[in-house]
Amino acid sequence: MNPSIIVRLLAVSTLTGASLLPAGRVCAAPDAAAPAIAVKIIAMNDFHGNLRPPADFPSNGVPTVAGGVARLAARIRELRAANPDNVLVSAGDLIGASPLISAHFQDEPTIEAMNLLGLDFNAVVGNHEFDKGREELLRMQRGGCHPRLERAGRSCREKGLSPMIRSKVGRKFKGASFRFLAANVFDRKSGGTLFPAYGIKQFHGRKIGFIGLTLKTTPNLVKPGGVKDLEFRDEVETVNALVPVLRSQAIEAIVVLIHEGGHPGGGSDGCPGLSGPIAGIVRRLDPEVDLVISGHTHETYACRLPNAAGEPVLVTSAHDYGRLVSDIDLVLDANTGEVTSAVARNLVVSRDVQPEPLLTRLVEDYGRLSRPVEERIIGRITATFSRTLDDAGESALGDLIADAQLEATRSRRHGGAAIAFMNSGGMRADLSHAPERNGWVRYREAFDIQPFGGTLVTMTLTGAQIEQLLEQQFPGCPNGQPANRILQVSGGFEYTWNAGGEACDKVDPASIRLGGKPVAAGRTYRIATNDFLADGGDGFTVFTQGTDRRAAMPELSALERYLGRHSPLTPGTLRRIIRRP
């Protein structure tokens, strides 16, 4: 007989103040004749609303890789069939920076797909879950109409839906049937966590605790206005403080699900030369933590890293977009609940997996609804505009977007900008040349590049502030960049930076030029950027000092208009940013 499974979530500290009571039946005490309990944890991370299979996945010698939620569902079904004692979790960024098929419907399709998958926890709120602010994230959990539709006096209903879709989304959005967790995200006013700090699953009378948290630097990665009343606390201090709380409830098996990660040197199931924040985080963790499921860096690894006691703890990450899934097997001592074994491997969601019909239909129906918007032709290119940075930090796509933003804001009516700055992280895909379409660009491709719905902002900065802004691109300055974060710049603006220069002194002031003329420290200049950077995103606090701020058009509209006016477009030579050794 299958065991009863209960899910119990931390009841305290939620903004709603509602208690989250245990559900299901508590199992009987474990049978002394059964010395071990095998539990399968199925983990994913950084799905980002990719309901369809992404088209740009590098095969790395695995030509059958596919992804897409329908095949992901089939792979999960196979893993569940191998062990009925299982739990499905996500390590954050289920939504945000999503393709048009999800984003056009406010990411409700992805939440509905995860409900159908039977997700237990989005056990970490990722940074991208905050892209549209706290209230929209809470709506993803609770359900309800999107505020923009309510203000416009429209209902939540959509016409022309199939019976299956009508039954799911043709009425008021019900929200997630799984739970978001966020142990280290606190509301400054109430003092409580935004979502429950942990969840518990029980198998054969023994409990596993799942602590979910996001990276503490989230405020630097999202629009500050959306998280202004929230506090993001240290990840390790949060986990270590919760360990005794779980232990007091007879929980010996503890899993940390964290939206932070690292960069391995190579290999899908190993961590040779792993670098990045996750190694330092694990090194400080309480030895009672048995497993760490990570994300954020869109990397693939499954290996062991030393904890605070120098003991190895299993750490996993399954790339992104549902293209891989982590298959993790825990063995618990039936008498004590202690983890006696933990092994993991990352599995490809491949083309030879038969897609789940229900998820296939969901994707097809949303695709049909979004197709008129997606397929609209907006321009033409003769070659791919890549977002890959050269040694100096410049890219062909970055040049294109910065030029589009400058043209959209150059007139006095729209802000009078002379320079445009674009963050590289805001470009989520290449603008790929499609020979089968003779280079014609669809709205779908442009949206995939800039899915955040940002608005352009113009402001006035002095030449001295522009120099300070350029210095903020590098580690060591007060903004605390973790690595070089080079802004893309519009045509006519250029500068040189020295890789061997001291912190806050890498940019040669004499090299900063606009239209061939030096940028004077005491002179003022009108600049344009997106509202994420304008509010200090990515640590670029100089933008917050800008004066005479004016909102302009949406950044995606600027790109669309530029493509329409200047097609066909060809990538140019990358010479706006020069790097010296």
The pLDDT score that the predictor gives to residue 273 is 79
Residues in contact with 541: Cβ distance below 8 Å, sequence separation at least 6, in sequence order? 472, 478, 479
Question: What are the distances in angstroms from CA 405 to CA 369, 420, 440?
Answer: 30, 6, 21
For the chain, 581 residues long, the average pLDDT of each consecutive 10-residue run is 31 27 34 78 96 66 71 96 98 93 93 96 82 91 78 44 42 88 96 97 97 92 86 97 98 97 73 86 98 95 95 96 96 97 95 93 95 96 98 98 98 96 95 96 96 94 98 88 94 97 95 98 98 91 96 95 98 97 90
Q: Which value, to the nearest 10 degrees, does the dihedral of the CA atoms of residues 254, 255, 259, 262 take?
A: 110
Task: Quick: pLDDT tens for 477-521.
Answer: 877 788 999 999 999 999 999 999 999 999 999 999 999 999 999
Burial call 541-557: b when 16+ CB within 10 Å, e when fewer: bbbeebeeebebbbbbb
Distance CA 42, CA 117 (A): 12
**Angle CA 100–122–283, to nearest 5:** 115
**Phi/psi at 109 (5° precision):** -60, -35
Distance CA 273, CA 101 (A): 37
Three-state DSSP string of 249-270? CCCCEEEEEEECCCECCCCCCC
Claim: this prediction has a pTM higher than 0.85: no
Look at residue 362 and give its three-state secondary structure: helix
Looking only at the bridges linking them, the beta strands covering 300-306 and 253-259 are unpaired
Look at residue 122 and give its three-state secondary structure: strand
383, 426 Cβ separation under 8 angstroms:
no
The pLDDT score that the predictor gives to residue 164 is 42
Burial call 62-76: b when 16+ CB within 10 Å, e when fewer: eeebbbbbbbbbbbb
Residues in contact with 459: Cβ distance below 8 Å, sequence separation at least 6, in sequence order? 526, 527, 529, 534, 543, 546, 547, 548, 549, 550
The pLDDT score that the predictor gives to residue 266 is 61
Distance CA 447, CA 98 (A): 9
The pLDDT score that the predictor gives to residue 21 is 24
Which parts of 234-383 are beta strand (E)? 253-259, 291-294, 300-306, 312-318, 324-333, 339-348, 377-380
The pLDDT score that the predictor gives to residue 550 is 94
The pLDDT score that the predictor gives to residue 210 is 98
Find the distance separating the first CA and the last CA of the chain, reported in whole Å: 67
Distance CA 248, CA 434 (A): 59
Distance CA 521, CA 509 (A): 9
Looking only at the bridges linking them, the beta strands covering 291-294 and 312-318 are parallel
Distance CA 435, CA 6 (A): 54
Task: Quick: pLDDT tens for 15-67.
Answer: 322 222 223 323 334 445 558 999 999 999 999 999 998 765 444 444 456 78
